Amino acid sequence: MLEEQELINEIADILRQLRRRKKYTFDKLSEMSNIDYSTLNLIENRKQNPRIYTLYKLLYALDIDIVNLLKDKNNEMNDSKTAIMNKFEQIDLETLESVSELLDNFKILRKR
């Protein structure tokens, strides 16, 4: 499960990507979604967590189906996991132990 700030970051990144993919400026998305320019800016810059209705209006303006968006993201994650697992199956035991130690150290650093 994501922490709150991680979720805010994910939402900001996804909205920015979708807005850019549609080639919408902040002004255009603001007009289409009826959301203040400064609010959009705060959301995309990871400073504000959008309320659910704000998120709905943004996705509606961007013509995005949230269910399909989440399914696509989940499928991408599953594909990435499968690719990584396939690579691990080809690694010799000594290298695998080194990678495991590296991951353990990364977890410790990340908790700080």
- How does pLDDT run across 5-35, given as a tens digit for each residue? 888 888 889 899 999 999 999 999 999 999 9
Rg for the chain, CA atoms, rounded: 19
Longest dimension (CA), the chain: 58
- How does pLDDT run across 33-82, given as a tens digit for each residue? 999 999 999 999 998 889 889 988 998 899 887 666 666 666 666 667 67
Q: Decide: 29 and 58 in contact? Cβ < 8 Å.
A: yes
Phi, psi of 47 (to 5 degrees): -105, -10
Q: What is the pLDDT of residue 30?
A: 94
Q: Decide: 43 and 12 in contact? Cβ < 8 Å.
A: yes
Q: Decide: 51 and 58 in contact? Cβ < 8 Å.
A: no
Burial of 33 (0-12, 13-18, 19+ CB in 10 A): buried
